[in-house]
């Protein structure tokens, strides 16, 4: 892609501001967490955490950041997600890591390492009362270089 194409894409799909990136990272944290709950050995722990996550989503005011399928997964009772839904939820940890990196809160792992979902989620304030803190993005030039590197 040349610069002209990138400029056109940026015009049609402007970059979200830092607050929006943080809200989306928090939403992805909830989805990822819900995915990992599905295989939690301690069902009572999973059920308790599930209730806590749902309440936190409402308290944090991020329900509107969840896509329709994500919201359905998060709200689904423990033990009801199929294998593909569980995989889809947990794989969102990769997107979470990129957003957390863009916010300057999380180092991206090497390409041959996996993201540690709990660390990525904690870095953006998942399940914290103060998750609405001021957010700031890395400079656009750093994001552009990483975008080219990842693509």
Nearest Cα to Cα of residue 100 among 13, 21, 16: 21
Measured CA to CA, the distance from residue 143 to residue 11 in angstroms comes to 16
Put simply, whether the predicted model's pTM sits higher than 0.85 gets the answer yes
- The 10s digit of each residue's pLDDT in 82-109 is 999 999 999 999 999 999 999 999 998 8
Compare 131 and 44 and report the one with higher pLDDT: 44
Whether pLDDT at 3 is above 60: no
CB 31 within 8 A of CB 66: yes
Q: Which two tokens stand for residue 79?
A: 């033990």
């Amino acid at each position: 892609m040349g610069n002209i194409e990138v400029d056109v894409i940026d015009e049609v799909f402007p970059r979200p501001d830092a607050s929006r990136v943080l809200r989306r990272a928090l939403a992805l944290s909830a989805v990822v967490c819900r995915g990992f709950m599905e295989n939690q050995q301690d069902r009572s722990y999973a059920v308790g955490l599930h209730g806590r996550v749902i309440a936190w989503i409402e308290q944090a005011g991020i329900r509107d950041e969840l896509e329709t399928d994500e919201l359905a997964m998060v709200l689904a009772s423990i033990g009801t997600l199929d294998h593909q839904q569980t995989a889809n939820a947990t794989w969102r940890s990769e997107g979470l890591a990129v957003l957390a990196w863009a916010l300057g809160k999380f180092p991206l792992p090497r390409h041959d390492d996996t993201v540690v979902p709990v660390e990525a989620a904690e870095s953006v304030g998942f399940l914290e009362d103060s998750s609405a803190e001021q957010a700031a993005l890395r400079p656009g030039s750093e994001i552009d270089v990483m975008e080219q590197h990842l693509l």
